[in-house]
């Protein structure tokens, strides 16, 4: 199983979603944290999935923020969108409440 299996599962459940914040940091090997939930960015009016299967935390981004800095990767045959490393770091500062260590929540 791929170490990013949870990202592939989340991408199936949230087709418009983009892996972001701590999940994107982990994908880019910029943290040693293993987030218990996959953080997926979607638009302000996009549909959010039901809470079944892989734990997902939905983060709403403006449409303009969703268009910049997106990479596409294939994980286990699934197309997964992930924000680029530099954008992810900036987003972690912008959305501080989602980027703090998860153990403190």
Q: For residue 66, what pLDDT is reported?
A: 96
User: What is the residue whose two structure tokens read 């996009």?
Assistant: 46
pLDDT at 29 over 90: yes
Domain locations along the chain = 5-98
pLDDT at 105 over 80: no
Q: For residue 102, what pLDDT is reported?
A: 43
- What distance, in Å, lies between the first and last C-alpha atoms of the chain? 29
Q: Give the angle subtended at the CA of 19 by the CAs of 13 and 90, to the nearest 5°.
A: 155
37 touches 20 (CB < 8 A): no
Nearest to 83 by CA among 65, 60, 101, 104: 65
Which one has a higher pLDDT value, 1 or 11? 11
Q: What is the pLDDT of residues 49-104, one digit of tens each?
A: 877 778 999 999 999 999 999 999 999 999 999 999 999 999 999 887 665 444 44
Which is it for strands 56-60 and 38-42: parallel, antiparallel or unpaired?
parallel
């Amino acid at each position: 199983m791929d170490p990013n299996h949870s990202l592939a599962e989340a991408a199936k459940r949230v087709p418009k979603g983009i892996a972001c914040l701590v999940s994107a940091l982990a994908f880019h090997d910029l943290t040693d944290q293993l987030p218990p939930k996959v953080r997926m960015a979607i638009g302000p009016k996009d549909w959010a999935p039901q809470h079944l299967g892989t734990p997902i935390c939905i983060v709403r981004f403006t449409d303009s923020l969703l268009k910049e800095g997106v990479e596409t990767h294939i994980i286990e045959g699934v197309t997964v969108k992930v924000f680029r490393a530099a954008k992810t770091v900036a987003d972690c500062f912008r959305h501080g409440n989602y980027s703090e260590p998860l153990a403190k929540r």
